[in-house]
A and B are shown apart, each in its own frame.
Chain A
Amino acid sequence: MTATTRRALIKGAAAATAMAAAPIPVSAQAEAIKFGILTPLTGAGGQDGPRMLKAIEAVINEVNKSGGVLGRRIETIVEDDQTNPEAAVRAARKLIEVNKVPVIMGTWASAVTSAVAPVCWESKTFLCTVSGADSITQLPHQGYIIRTQPTSKLQATAHAEFIAGMGKKKVAVIGIQAPFALSTKEHLDSVLKSKGAGVVAHVIYEKDKPTYRSEVDQAMRSEPDFLYLNGYAPDTVVLLRDLYKANINLPKFCQSYAVPQKTLDSIPPEVSAGTYTGQPSADIEGKAFNLTAARLGIAEPDSYEAQATDWASLVILTLAKAKEVTGTALRENVRKISQGAGAKVYSAVEGLQLMAQGQEINYEGASGPCDFTDIGDIQGCRFRYMEVVDGKLRFLRVV
């Protein structure tokens, strides 16, 4: 048996006083708000998923330190989608049915997002994604999806303008089998055609093959003057090597996620020579971007880290606005804090402070303004182009 000593009583009283005096009380008793993170920690997206996770957690830590949201702490429940639709659906069900999360954020591959989306909207769970396939926001998702990544259409249009700007006329598209493959090719073709150029070959390949020699041969039969490689990192590396071996020195365009610097480091510089990359640009001159860089302790967060920062911030601010922790509340309220005439804020903590003073806010994100259309797409975006020189990515321009 333990007796309550006077010393223990004094200690307890002191602790209670200290807690009461804390500036913003976070109830230790109140159950934490759970955010579901479903992102590729392995598979083709394994290079981006962990960084997105870090960016989300950084925002959450900052908010927790300043008192949480609705008087509650935020907690993450992390699942690996393995860049695999089947594994992703299983993990999403677990997050929704077992952990009862109001939101899932972090899906990367379009095939994964397409598979997970119906599970989310049917269970009234909000979904934040970076997948670009046009088809995703055209699903009957009833408003339960927002994506901060520009659609394939926006991307292909920008890329086609970049390629046409280089004076290229005959573009061969070699792309991975994915939901964005066909729409990207069609948008590229229509924009190129309007500029007197066009897509002369379209080869769709299967992922995870050790060589694409025959696919390269097939594309080259149309005698292109430019190559558009529309895949993920593991297969793009194989393609670049096969192109080099086949003595094909044409300039080529890749999505930036297909040739991050780490991947370039794994291949000899002569293989990656003549590669151009494009990505939705984080808002590199923006205030939110600088705050993100400081929060993550890195000089230049990329588009994925910026977008992940924005999801976490948007969801936290929306919960504060809605005063209710459900997927439906997120759906109903997200546009009330992401756009409109409210005071511009650049971080979740800043937004929470203004809202506590009763002000309306408009979150301006690290990836861009974060203004969403009715179907959950962003309304516009800038693009950042790089060129690979001596195996290193060199900045070209932001358009």
Chain B
Amino acid sequence: MSVKVRSVPRVWRERKIKYRLIGGKCPNCGKSFYPYRDNCPYCGFKGAKEVELPREGKVITYTVIRAPPADFTQYAPYPIALVELKDGTRVIAQLTDVNIEDIRTGMSVEAVFRKYREQGEDGIIEYGMKFRPLLKS
């Protein structure tokens, strides 16, 4: 069986959060998180505020995917990192515009709008934020 998780409405539902890196900030405990939802994942307070997260951060740790899931097979190998944004929020994202051998823990990166995958050659295209080394250091 082929395992292709493709949904058009879901891409539409999630677009604002993914296109603009929208997270949540909890007025109760002060923590920020990605993606946005109204329940704080830390203290459970219902009433987190939508925030446009900072677009710069650093690589906490990274890996290179060499055995990719379906719909990503043509892009492998590609790097995935845990990125900590300037406000402390952490996200998991692909790195781009970088040679694999040049990736370092701690390197400064910035968010860029890129294509993540296509729902097949004739399906819709899913976009989101990846991170690249700073254009200007």
A-B interaction: no
Q: Which residues of B line the A interface, CB within 8 A? A: none
Q: Which residues of A line the B interface, CB within 8 A? A: none
